[in-house]
Structure 1
Amino acid sequence: MVHEVLSARGLVVRLGGRRAIDGLDLSVPAGSVYALLGGNGAGKTTTLNALLGFVVPTAGSVQVDGLDPIRDAAAARLRLAYLPENVALYPYLSGIENLQYFCALGGVRLADAAASALLDQAGLQGPSHTARVATYSKGMRQKVGLAIAHAKHAKAMLLDEPTSGLDPGAANDFAQRVRAAADAGMAVLMATHDLFNAKQVADRIGIMKEGRLVAEFDTHTVSHDDLERSYLVYTRAAPPRSDA
């Protein structure tokens, strides 16, 4: 039986008098990557924030490994790793020191050798481990974020526009690292505008429009051209809706 790690059931979130999320049903099992596509304001980031417990559902529910992220916030967040578009690290600490610091906040102490091994696993080259993060590219900072996720043994990872601003080579490398994390059993939910990256790394793709999931695809059966065509169709014209 496939274990569902991330889920939303009939999720409604009202922000500023409007439905930022409007009846969302979503499931991400262990060992899979789900990519959420959509334009700005479609509800992708709000979906991630609901799973993180940063916004309270107006109706419906979300769960993280069977836990409610509002009622069981601390336990749910222990199971989650979150990588925003720009990973916030301390610029005057090294990659190893940042990893050790963030792990210590979660009660995990890492020796230098263990921290270096995790950075290697995330794809950060050895000489960079002891360099100040102020010298890192965005792609290198993202890899430290991946190492933090591995270090805390997270069951799920939430990514918000992870390849924005990366060159094609760095984006491809990051996608491979995310795919490897999923293949090792992690559930990954990725909000993105990047159709190519979504097709490359995800098992399923959903398109959001005005808080609704308007289409879903299995990446193994949909072509890139069909995915792009559908994305343009759904994001150019909203389906009829009622806010009753």
Structure 2
Amino acid sequence: MNNALRLSRSVLQSADSSLKCSMVICHGLLGSKNNWKSISNALAQKNCGTPERYDKLVVFDISTTPKPTIQSLTPIIDLMSSVDLKALGHKNNGNIGMVRNSLMKEWDKTVPNPTMRAFLLTNLGEKDGEIFWKVNLKAIKSCWNQITDFPAELSGRVFNQPVMFVAASDGKYLGQSDLPSVRKYFPQAKIVQIANTGHWVHFDAPNTVTNLITSFMLDKSFDPTSFADVKEIK
């Protein structure tokens, strides 16, 4: 582990202090640990991290197959990189709220979805009056192909434990055509789809996501179709 990085993290204690193993939740590109705070708290209270259920995996709206739609994010990275935060911060007296409001208005045509704009601008940070991006945009751009592709070195390797891929009903990143590729690496995988959700499934349907994960982790006879707004893709 000589090359290990110390990641920013939040540690939530289970309602049962005797449990010694963990559930690890990783956010997506341009996200943060705060995106999962409410669901993480709910799962911690449900004691999902028990030892005999440790080797399970849940994946949200991404596939093992590269998608052309992911390239639609590259202009977003370029847009964020182009902002002169030093000048904008000076203009707004180092007030991060004012900088955020300014960019919300400035980006209204480039990023027409206000929810998307607000999400991107959660990556703004402030320290001693200096405004900065909390994400390393330069590193994301230089490593884009590695970030958006499935690692070639994993070809031929499998994770033969229960896995649940959760797809958005209105998403473009995971669907029925991905099942063969998913099963190539994860033979026991199920792909389930939650109704009326976009790519940020956990944002659009937090209660269903929490209950779905809980059932998957705790119920040995897990049946996703027992949820009214969930269907299994076969």
TM over 0.5: no
TM-score by length of 2: 0.28
TM-score by length of 1: 0.28
Which structure shows the bigger proportion of residues in strand conformation?
Answer: 1
Higher helix proportion: 2
User: Greater Rg, structure 1 or structure 2?
Assistant: 2
